[in-house]
Chains A and B, each alone.
Chain A
Amino acid sequence: MRRGGWWFWLLALLGFARRERRDEEPRERIVGPGLPAPRAELATIVLLALTAACAIAFIVFYGVGASTQVLGASLAGAFAFLAAALILVGKRVVVTEELAEEYPGEHPEDETAVAQILEESGSRMTRKRLLGTAAGVAAGSIGVALAAPAVSLGPLFDSGPLYETPWRRGRRLVDEHGKSILASDIESGAFYTAYPQGASRKDLGAPLVVIRLDPATLELPSGREGWAPEGILAFSKICTHAGCAIALYRHPLFDPSEPRPALVCPCHYSTFDPARGAEVIFGPAGRPLPQLPLMIGTDGALRAAGNYSGAVGPAWSKVRSHPPRSV
């Protein structure tokens, strides 16, 4: 490396600069003038230093695996100091000015010209309407063709799966551990969740809510004689309003003075009267909870005596059209 090389460059630069300055005309400012603000500049520098300090602290905290609170506070601190610095720069350090400007107006000549271009471009066409129709049909067909594969997403034209449930005559009720539920397990005043033995628990038709009421208080709809042996009732646990699980059971502690036992959905508080076949007594549901007929086996285990009284889950146009189907 040549020694003293930088001297040469500095001199050249100075000479260049001096020459420039000699030739220079004083140029009119675009940005308005302003006085120096050394205190604001100093404050900005301090804030930027604090920003860097917080950012570095965050890196260290991250490295040592500090808590979420410490990480969040340090990084938030860095951004907070940066925000303060930038706002100070905008308000005090750079030139501050008020500008005035005309709002943009309309462009009537251009509008006319565009319309003219569009019109004149088609002046050779003799069958405009037919051409337009053909173009529309072509574009529409391509659009539909491109959209058609979306039908693969799901069974668009087959609502059969919506009626399917895993329950059929003889299927055991089991608890969440897969253990068979006995009629003697079901106590009055409590609330049990049951699933079909040997089937997926995830299907909407699977989960049941099981309770025991005094058989004398039952007023089930006609045709459901024998569906509630010993007063044990099973209903679909899926609310007929919006598909949430019925997770609340209102059971009176003092019979004469409190309202009847009710099954309640915690999402929108649809309230069902289990003694009357889970008819809706309050809330937005439009259909009773489907009831599952029960029977008690010789071993005392609860089993389904058939499928539900209606399709399970939220309503769609044909929810009342067909009975549920066992799969």
Chain B
Amino acid sequence: MRDDDALREPLRFIDDRTGGATFARKALRYVFPDHWSFLLGEVVLYAFVVLVATGIYLALFFEPSLSDTIYTGPYAPLQGAQMSDAYRSAVDLSFSVKAGLLMRQTHHWAADVFVAAMVLHLLRVVFTGAFRRPRELTYVIGVLMLFIALVEGYLGYSLVDDLLSGMGLAIGYSVLLSVPVIGGNLGELLWGAPFPGDPAFESRMYIAHVLLIPGLLAVLIGGHLALIASRHHTQFRGRLGQSNGRLVGVPAFPGQAPRSLGLLAAVAAVLLALGGLVQINPIWLWGPYETGLGTNGAQPDWYLGWLIGALRLMPGFDVTAGSYTVIPNPFWGGILFPTVVVAVLLAFPWLERRWTGDRGRHNLLDRPRDAPGRTGFGVAFLLWVFLIFVAGSADRATVFFGLDYETQIKVYRVLVWVLPVIAFFVVRRFCRALQRAEAVERVQHAAEAEAAAEVERVP
């Protein structure tokens, strides 16, 4: 008796009722090209799985309410402090719920890793030209997900209503107010009242954080994966006869499935280890938020650093016309800067097509050196955002190294424009040099092979 006969009956039952056998046959033999950098996107997906799982657990204990309460829990330094139910329940689930702190810290770490893996995945896609026709839509969905994930993360740590939450929300509110003409109206609309807003604002953040945005992300992930499956993966040129028309790799089953599930388990292991062993956002140290309180040395999660840097780098002016404030200052760093970054990223496939005139279908990936212009621009653009990100930590350099803060900011205001331009030319030149060196090597190899053949022929 063959093994597959035992499976025949249940498979027939399912296929009769769903017609799924044809699809399953194709899906099981779907080909995955093998390259380590292709794991980055999977890491994002699996971090999302961990986020959903741990987030559901947290939602069973967290109370999204700004009602005042007096803390009477086990953490002595907060005894008797007035705080919201949101903050009280977040502290309680950290100290009084078994495994609660593990879940909260794992959730927070997973969010940081989620965005980090997305950024690395984006870099892989950009520098290898994977975004080119026919995969522009996959790329666009991916870029949108990155920025939606930033909003999701921001809302997540804003819900807790600790001191850092409140400071972050005050900044978010100010950035919204800085929208020309209608900013004040938008701020009052979303918050329900001038900052700190209507108590219902907490409920609004909560529904967005646990339903609207995760739901949107899930839909976009589905679309992203469906498009990948439809157009198939890109691949590097290799020794297995890969070409623009022919895809070579490991089948989904049995080769890829256990490896990918293994990656899921590995991501879960790393995130749980971080969540259990490495403290992150100890909310009980910050204390409850009040508008009149602030703390020095507050740092947001890493993925908002670029916005902090942009806000800090702006010289102090509002654009005014008489008593009318045309452009309040936070607009430049908080709205214009991220809008430019998103717009350039979204438009990049079409910008490059215009520059190069290349309208062909590309299933084979470039190495960064193969496209010196793209690599140069990519490095320059990345460096621009990264320098602004680093400028956001100038206060840390003041604390740790004693560098004068104001001098640093003045230097950064120049560097963020000059270094990317230099980087573009240096990188482009470097890529071309690598290409030339390869061409020389190829000629040498050919000559040596010819010489060797000549030697053999002589006797």
Cβ of B240 to closest chain A Cβ, rounded Å: 6
A146 contact set on B, CB distance < 8 A: none
Q: Are B232 and A20 in contact (CB under 8 A)?
A: no
A317 contact set on B, CB distance < 8 A: 180-184, 324-326, 328
Interface size class of A (residues with CB under 8 A): 35 or more
For B265, give its contact among A86, A153, A202, A207 (CB under 8 Å).
Answer: A86
Q: Are A103 and B262 in contact (CB under 8 A)?
A: no
Q: Are A103 and B247 in contact (CB under 8 A)?
A: yes
Which 8 pairs show the lowest CB-CB distances between chains A and B? A72-B276, A207-B292, A286-B318, A86-B262, A316-B184, A314-B174, A245-B294, A247-B294
Select from chain A the residue with minimum beta-carbon distance to B191.
Answer: A154
For B102, give its contact among A71, A237, A280, A314 (CB under 8 Å).
Answer: A71
For residue A285, CB closer than 8 A to chain B, the reply is: yes
For residue A265, CB closer than 8 A to chain B, the reply is: yes
Cβ of B42 to closest chain A Cβ, rounded Å: 13
B268 contact set on A, CB distance < 8 A: 76, 79
In chain A between 86 and 119, which residues have their CB closer than 8 angstroms to a CB of chain B? 86-87, 89-91, 94-104
Cβ of A276 to closest chain B Cβ, rounded Å: 14
Q: Can you name 5 A-B residue pairings with CB atoms under 8 Å? A: A89-B258, A90-B256, A101-B247, A154-B189, A266-B295
B171 contact set on A, CB distance < 8 A: 242-244, 267
Q: Are A154 and B190 in contact (CB under 8 A)?
A: yes
For residue A221, CB closer than 8 A to chain B, the reply is: no
Cβ of A81 to closest chain B Cβ, rounded Å: 8
B interface, CB within 8 angstroms of A: 1-2, 5, 29, 31, 98-99, 101-102, 105-106, 167, 170-171, 173-175, 177-178, 180-185, 187-196, 198, 204, 230-232, 240-241, 244-251, 254-259, 261-266, 268-270, 272-273, 275-277, 290-298, 308, 311-318, 320, 323-326, 328-330, 333-334, 363, 395, 405-406, 409
Q: Are A69 and B277 in contact (CB under 8 A)?
A: yes
For residue A283, CB closer than 8 A to chain B, the reply is: yes
List 20 additional contacts besides A69-B276, A95-B255, A241-B311; criterion CB under 8 Å.
A30-B29, A71-B276, A83-B265, A97-B255, A100-B240, A153-B189, A154-B188, A154-B189, A201-B292, A204-B195, A204-B291, A241-B329, A243-B291, A244-B170, A247-B296, A267-B167, A314-B177, A316-B184, A318-B324, A319-B325
Select from chain B the residue with minimum beta-carbon distance to A77.
Answer: B269
Q: When chains A and B are docked, how far (Å) is the Cα of A195 from the Cα of B167?
A: 19
Q: When chains A and B are docked, how far (Å) is the Cα of A16 from the Cα of B363?
A: 50
Q: When chains A and B are docked, how far (Å) is the Cα of A83 from the Cα of B72?
A: 42
For residue A143, CB closer than 8 A to chain B, the reply is: no
A72 contact set on B, CB distance < 8 A: 102, 105-106, 272-273, 275-277
Given contacts A159-B184, A317-B183, is CB(A76)–CB(B240) below 8 Å? Answer: no
Cβ of A317 to closest chain B Cβ, rounded Å: 5
Q: Are A100 and B31 in contact (CB under 8 A)?
A: yes
Q: Are B247 and A242 in contact (CB under 8 A)?
A: no
Q: Are A156 and B31 in contact (CB under 8 A)?
A: no
A31 contact set on B, CB distance < 8 A: 251, 254
Q: When chains A and B are docked, how far (Å) is the Cα of A304 from the Cα of B294?
A: 23
Given contacts A95-B254, A153-B190, is CB(A320)–CB(B5) below 8 Å? Answer: no
A interface, CB within 8 angstroms of B: 16-17, 20-21, 24, 30-31, 62, 65, 68-73, 75-80, 82-87, 89-91, 94-104, 150-151, 153-159, 161-162, 164, 193, 195, 201-204, 206-207, 237-238, 241-248, 265-270, 280, 282-287, 313-321
A195 contact set on B, CB distance < 8 A: 292
B188 contact set on A, CB distance < 8 A: 154-156, 158-159, 161-162
B1 contact set on A, CB distance < 8 A: 16-17, 20-21
A84 contact set on B, CB distance < 8 A: 262
Q: Are A73 and B277 in contact (CB under 8 A)?
A: yes
Cβ of B272 to closest chain A Cβ, rounded Å: 4
Q: Are A282 and B258 in contact (CB under 8 A)?
A: no
Select from chain A the residue with minimum beta-carbon distance to B271.
Answer: A76
Given contacts A65-B98, A269-B395, is CB(A315)–CB(B247) below 8 Å? Answer: no
A17 contact set on B, CB distance < 8 A: 1
Q: When chains A and B are docked, how far (Å) is the Cα of A247 from the Cα of B298?
A: 12
Q: When chains A and B are docked, how far (Å) is the Cα of A237 from the Cα of B293?
A: 9
Q: Are A245 and B293 in contact (CB under 8 A)?
A: yes
Cβ of B178 to closest chain A Cβ, rounded Å: 7
Given contacts A20-B2, A89-B258, A94-B255, is CB(A79)–CB(B272) below 8 Å? Answer: yes
A320 contact set on B, CB distance < 8 A: 320, 323-325
Select from chain A the residue with minimum beta-carbon distance to B197.
Answer: A154
B395 contact set on A, CB distance < 8 A: 266, 269
A69 contact set on B, CB distance < 8 A: 276-277
Q: When chains A and B are docked, how far (Å) is the Cα of A80 from the Cα of B262?
A: 9
Select from chain A the residue with minimum beta-carbon distance to B276.
Answer: A72
Q: Are A155 and B193 in contact (CB under 8 A)?
A: yes
Q: Are B189 and A315 in contact (CB under 8 A)?
A: no
Q: Are B250 and A98 in contact (CB under 8 A)?
A: yes
Q: When chains A and B are docked, how far (Å) is the Cα of A286 from the Cα of B317?
A: 4
Q: Are B192 and A71 in contact (CB under 8 A)?
A: no
Q: Are A287 and B298 in contact (CB under 8 A)?
A: no
Select from chain B the residue with minimum beta-carbon distance to A265.
Answer: B294
Cβ of B314 to closest chain A Cβ, rounded Å: 4
Q: When chains A and B are docked, how far (Å) is the Cα of A287 from the Cα of B328?
A: 9
Select from chain A the residue with minimum beta-carbon distance to B34.
Answer: A98
Q: When chains A and B are docked, how far (Å) is the Cα of A161 from the Cα of B177?
A: 14
Q: Are A83 and B263 in contact (CB under 8 A)?
A: yes
Q: When chains A and B are docked, how far (Å) is the Cα of A161 from the Cα of B191?
A: 12
Q: When chains A and B are docked, how far (Å) is the Cα of A206 from the Cα of B437?
A: 68
Cβ of A170 to closest chain B Cβ, rounded Å: 21
Q: When chains A and B are docked, how far (Å) is the Cα of A242 from the Cα of B330?
A: 7
Q: Are A207 and B291 in contact (CB under 8 A)?
A: yes
Q: When chains A and B are docked, how far (Å) is the Cα of A84 from the Cα of B269?
A: 11
A65 contact set on B, CB distance < 8 A: 98
Given contacts A244-B167, A245-B294, is CB(A284)–CB(B330) below 8 Å? Answer: yes
Select from chain A the residue with minimum beta-carbon distance to B188.
Answer: A154
Cβ of B385 to closest chain A Cβ, rounded Å: 18
A318 contact set on B, CB distance < 8 A: 184, 324-325
Cβ of B412 to closest chain A Cβ, rounded Å: 12
Q: When chains A and B are docked, how far (Å) is the Cα of A49 from the Cα of B30?
A: 31
For B262, give its contact among A20, A83, A151, A159 (CB under 8 Å).
Answer: A83
Given contacts A83-B262, A266-B294, is CB(A157)–CB(B185) below 8 Å? Answer: yes
Q: Are A62 and B316 in contact (CB under 8 A)?
A: no
A86 contact set on B, CB distance < 8 A: 258-259, 261-262, 265
Given contacts A76-B272, A206-B291, A317-B324, is CB(A266)–CB(B258) below 8 Å? Answer: no
Q: When chains A and B are docked, how far (Å) is the Cα of A238 from the Cα of B293?
A: 9
For A73, give its contact among B167, B266, B273, B308 (CB under 8 Å).
Answer: B273
Given contacts A268-B308, A283-B316, A315-B325, is CB(A104)–CB(B230) below 8 Å? Answer: yes
Q: Are B318 and A287 in contact (CB under 8 A)?
A: yes
A20 contact set on B, CB distance < 8 A: 1-2, 5
Q: Are A268 and B292 in contact (CB under 8 A)?
A: no
B277 contact set on A, CB distance < 8 A: 69, 72-73
